[in-house]
Amino acid sequence: MENKIKIGLIGLGTVGTGVYKTLKDFDNVEIIKIAVKNKNKKRNIENLDESIITDDPYEVVNNPEIQIVAELIGGVEPAFDLIKTAIKNGKHIVTANKELLAKHGEELFNFAEEHNKVILYEAAIAGGIPLIMPIKTILAGNKITKIKAILNGTTNYILTKMDIQGASYSDVLTEAQALGYAETDPTGDVEGFDAAYKITTLATIAFNRRVKFENVYREGITKIRPEDMKAANEMGYKIKLIASAELKDKNKADVRVHPMLVPQSKTLAHIDYVTNAVTLTGHPVGEVTLSGPGAGEFPTASSVVGDILAIVSELDKNDYILPMMRCNHNQNAEPINISQTENKYYLSINTKNSMGVIGRIGKACEDNNISLASIVQKEIAQGDCAEITVITELCRESDMQSVIEILNNDNAILSVNSLIRVQV
């Protein structure tokens, strides 16, 4: 086919390989240059033309033939400068870079608009799950006000295995690393950074207001214990790392990532292993959940290739392509600090097995305007102590933290093991 659209790839890792293999099946596009970190690395690609491989990514963004650049290397630099250079040189962008968009999305989207180019990023939020395009098109008539999502496959895999096996976090992490589900340095996943990058951009798009990454509250899964998993099950919950966002009072946004006890009546409670899912709540649609593979070679490639072909279909048709997919936000969301939010809480406490200890916990809560939904005491065989599990009614975070401070200074309290928010 003549006049093929010329594509340049930056990155030929897991996602880049999937994109290359998938695009080979389309006769209206041609990959003419691929930038890699190591030209000598053996790759699982049949009949790869080595002549199009370079270790200089600027050969991609400065190539006058290339019309679309797919940036698939991740991180802030050199991706940020490469994308700006490509845009300056008249190229449209497809990216899977959640960190870059969370930290510098506003600048990049404004820069692209100034040069009349588009940046598409379906793969940057939930891998293979179609999400951004539906929000911008099919769901465009809705006012979306709430998002609850599982956006990180590594943490969801770890929590699922802890739940099923009754194993500790550290044991399951080691297993996940051996299987390739977790990185050697898992910090980005297990401390919630990855999910926080994603919910920053997702909330910005869904609420049509810019959410700043530095205002997103973040808490990881490293403190979750097998005992918490067991207690959650007994009470009808599952523990998941939830990325949530809620738009309140027109312009105030409560955006955060932290573990939650999710009621087993909710769809997200049953999203297991590396699967991702996003529940959107809005008017008039009500509640919609989209789920599927959140990472991997071909699922993520599906989103990248979809974005590439969306651009290809519009090229040369008019001077201002894909207007619905562009970011034209002119209003920043006002952040709600976590201390001012209202939540239900699960609290696990080890105490001396003595008279009045439950009353002391109840008094600390009462003095800080917190009502208890349930309180259960179990005797622990080792030593003269007890484990007390509390579920609160809705209360303010700042009041809950005051209670924790009181308990930590009470001689009858041996330890506050866990404090986990409960999805309402």
CA neighbor of 68 nearest in space, from 43, 50, 95, 42: 95
Cα 282 to Cα 277: distance, rounded to the nearest angstrom: 16
Cα 20 to Cα 11: distance, rounded to the nearest angstrom: 10
What is the Cβ-side half-sphere exposure of residue 337, based on CA atoms within 13 angstroms? 4
- Is 161 one of the catalytic residues? no
Of 198, 238, 240, 344, the catalytic one is: 198
CA neighbor of 164 nearest in space, from 275, 273, 294, 292: 273
Strand 413-422 versus strand 342-352 pairing type: antiparallel
* Residues 345 and 418 sit within 8 Å (Cβ to Cβ): no
DSSP state of 342: E
What Å distances lie between residue 73 and 197, 203, 216, 227, CA to CA? 16, 23, 24, 39
Query: 153-165 and 226-234 helices cross at what angle (nearest 10)?
Result: 80
CB atoms under 10 Å from CB of 49, counted, come to: 10
Phi, psi of 398 (to 5 degrees): -60, -35
Cα 123 to Cα 129: distance, rounded to the nearest angstrom: 8
- N-to-C CA span, the chain: 55
> Which run of H or E residues covers position 281?
strand 275-283
Active site positions, annotated: 198
